[in-house]
Chain A
Amino acid sequence: MGLPSDKLKGALVVLAAALPLLLFFASVSLGSISIPFDRVLSALIGNVEGVEGTIVWSYRVPRTIASLVAGATLAINGAVLQALTRNPLASPFTLGLNSAASFGAALAIIVGRNLIGLGDPLALTAAASTNAFVLSVIAIVVVTGLAGLRGMTPESLVLGGIAIAYLFSAATSFLQYLAGETQLRIFVLWAMGDLMRVDWLGAYLLIVALVISAMLSLKIAWDLNALSLGDETATSLGTNPRTTRLVGTLATAFSTALVASQIGPVGFVCLMSPHIARHLIGTDNRYVIPMAAIIGTSLLTIADIGARTLMRPVEIPVGVITAMFGAPFFLGLFVRARRQIWQ
């Protein structure tokens, strides 16, 4: 891995893009029910008759699209936040987003309150989604506000995020304590993160989230590179660290909020994907971002395939699988000991 030429990196990214395509086919072919591959293919080209055709087209295809899109979005958001905070262990969730989203869902599921009056307050899933989104947005605003008061430095963002995370986490624990059995179970399943809930509207929202993240991140890719050498150097290179951090945080957090509202707080993808991408392709964000997107897409889709097949005919929430990736990943980091991180 030595040649720093743009061409080689570009080629690598293009090559890697083949992976999500492969995974698309794997994901629609596999599931809690066995469907022969030829039936899958015929369903994909429009022959949707019969139960199997319906399952492939109406259930697996949207779900696969969701996992591909959400995985990419989460990975990009993670990459951007890591660059903005100069912290390879940062993710939108360390900004308190998953705690806020969980709290919103807990409000809907356990207390039965929908914050913005859309739909029936007791159509639990829909209420949980909108609440999760609203609370996440509130959390971002509070965190960036707090950070802004202290100069919008990486440290202030991280500290603000941790504070908000603890706040919402405590509130959620309290609600869980009060909850009845059924509500508790529904909430816990929600909080694990699950792709099952995504319907076509949800899929559109996920695509919107991806577009926001992709467009923003590529636009500020050079600024993110500049930030890696410190705020002062970045300023001298023509980047405004405060503005970049504010806009970057708001946009990625907003996009993450959209994702979390649809699939729950799925962890680790935003943390691991940029890491792996950087290991493969260097620290230039113009390449890290697309590469991380591809890795995130693949990770989440693989996890979802696992979620749907490991315990057939039951489907496990995908968050359980991604969490299982987490431990070996971090242990691996530890063992390989990239000195830089620990210095």
Chain B
Amino acid sequence: MRILVEGVVVYYGAFRALDGVTVEFQQGEVTAVLGPNGSGKTTLLRTISKILRPEEGAVYVGERDLRELKEGELAKLMGYMPQGVESRFPMRVWEVVALGRKPHVAWALTPRDVQVVEEAMKLAGVERLADRYLHELSGGERQKVMLARVLAQEPKVLLLDEPTSHLDLRYQIEVLKLVRLITKERGLVTIASLHDINLALRFADKAVLMKDGLVYAIGKPEDVLTPENVVEVFNVKAALVKNPRPFIVVEDAV
């Protein structure tokens, strides 16, 4: 199964946020969507998850047009983790993760549902926190809980919007390691927008570099994140260093 985005144009009001984007995402691969703020990363993810509708172009899930898929069906297929966590009510971790079962549940949670929830928490490393309130947790713990929620959905497609911003370095690595592991184990299509290009270099199979609503480059991360591309897209002078893994060292603003 793959996700195909073909010639998609999306508007925010009068602003053309995606200017004709075409890109394919494959099963079993972690694809990082990169680019400066406003380049359209979040918009792309929202379009794939059907939160936004394209003005032109289409999104295909497998062979099916996204438009054909009903909300309920889509929810079983795709797990979307937005930036930030909103909750005005004091929710317990267990309740939050259990919410991920909603697309599969009619009313009551079956024993299997409970099992999935517990496994998801274990996978994300938050099972000790099951009884705690969400707002009592640290930023990193909260992010892991949200990840557990997405995992509990048992999706085939994982859409993660900046899953690591505002996290400690340690959590950044933990979360992305986990994401990569699950992607490989379960053969998911994982699309993650990332702020930090070095994390992409380390954890992603593919990178999609965006600029001004268009795809600037697609390919393996080290092929996409060349100093030339970095200058063009991020307006910083950088050098690619191998240590032995490749990473970008930012030298100066341009």
Please give the residue numbers on chain A whose beta carbons come within 8 Å of chain B beta carbons, in ascending order: 2, 4, 6, 86-88, 221-222, 225-226, 228-230, 232-233, 235-240, 278, 282-284, 286, 338-341, 343
Q: Given A228-B87, A340-B88, are A236 and B99 neighbors across the interface (CB < 8 Å)?
A: no
A4–B94 CA distance with the chains assembled, in angstroms: 7
Cα distance A86–B90 when bound, in Å?
Answer: 11
Whether B82 pairs with A278 at a CB distance below 8 angstroms is no
Spot the interface stretch: B32-40, B104-112, B163-171.
B104-112
In whole angstroms, what is the CA distance A284 to B94 when docked? 11
**Contact partner, A6, options B84, B96, B103, B108, Cβ 8 Å:** B108
Number of interface residues of B (CB under 8 A): 42
Contact B96 A238 (CB under 8 A): no
Q: Is B220 an interface residue (CB 8 A)?
A: no
CA–CA, A343 and B137, complex, Å: 14
B90: A residues at CB distance < 8 A: 278, 283, 338, 340-341
Per the bound structure, the CA–CA distance linking A203 and B228 in Å amounts to 76
**Closest-CB distance, A202 to chain B (whole angstroms):** 33
B49 interface residue per 8 A CB criterion: yes
Residues in chain B within 8 A of chain A (CB atoms): 46, 49-51, 71-72, 74-76, 78-82, 84-92, 94-96, 98-100, 102-103, 105, 107-109, 130-131, 133, 135, 149, 153, 159
Chain A: minimal CB distance from B142 (Å): 11
Report yes or no: B130 in contact with A236, Cβ–Cβ below 8 A: no
Of all chain B residues, which has the CB nearest A7?
B108
The answer to whether A88 touches B88 (Cβ under 8 A) is: yes
- Contact call A87/B88, Cβ cutoff below 8 A: yes
CB neighbours (8 Å) of B81 from chain A are 233
Q: How far is the CA of A134 from the CA of B83 in the complex (A)?
A: 43
Q: Which of A226, A230, A236, A283 has its CB near the most chain B CB atoms (within 10 A)?
A: A236
Contact residue among A2, A86, A238, A278 (Cβ-Cβ distance under 8 Å from B103) = A238
Interface centre among B80, B90, B131 (most CB of A within 10 A): B90
The reply to whether A236 and B80 contact each other, CB–CB distance below 8 Å, is yes
- Most-contacted residue by chain B among A230, A240, A283 (CB, 10 A): A283
A341 touches B88 (CB 8 A): yes
Q: Are A4 and B108 in contact (CB under 8 A)?
A: no
How far, in angstroms, from A6 to B51 measured CA to CA in the complex? 31
Which B residues are CB-close (under 8 A) to A278? 89-90
Known contacts A4-B94, A235-B50, A286-B107, A86 near B99 by CB under 8 Å? no
Q: Is the CB of B95 within 8 A of A4?
A: yes
Kindly list 5 other residue pairs between chains A and B, CB separation below 8 angstroms, not including A225-B95, A225-B102, A340-B88.
A222-B105, A230-B82, A230-B87, A235-B80, A238-B74
